[in-house]
Amino acid sequence: LEIVYEDKWLLVVNKPAGMLSVPGKVEDMDSVYRRLKEKYPDATGPMIVHRLDMATSGLLLVAKTKEVHRHLQSQFENRKIKKRYIALLNGVIQETGNQRMGRISLPLCPNPLDRPRQMVDKAYGKEAITEYQIIENSKEYTRIAFYPLTGRTHQLRVHAAHPEGLNCPILG
């Protein structure tokens, strides 16, 4: 794993696409957590502060102690830490005037017929809010920055693809 930053309290690692943040049901599966536990056997607590989906690459915060883990998670819960995801969408988002930014607010819940996929459900879904900024449009694609204000499972994928969202699925 590429370590982008390290001090005595925490690490920032660059998680590659295709790797789990934490092991699934099989404990010995390759994951960021497993690799870091081997490299830092004296670290206490859960270490991984937040997760990225297996297919997603990006930076992960890793705490070296239980106390730091608790403090960082509190910052996520209180929205003190901001996340940004850059994605390529299959489709073109039409800009309105000079407006290159927007907000999607579509409540999400697990799809009971297709778990673990999520679906928009205005009656039973939990609040899910994503702000976005169009970076670049081409004839077929949009490069976009997503700023999730909530942290629902598959939130960005659903908000991008849903007809009431951007109506453009994420390619990568």
Q: CB neighbours of 81 closer than 8 A, spacing ≥ 6?
A: 61, 72, 75
Query: Which two tokens mark 138?
Result: 């081409």
Q: Is 30 a catalytic residue?
A: no
Strands 85-90 and 58-63: unpaired
**Given 28, 30, 42, 53, the catalytic residue:** 53
Count of C-beta atoms within a 10 Å radius of residue 109: 17
For the chain, how far is it from start to end, CA to CA, in angstroms? 21
Could you list the active site residues? Answer: 53
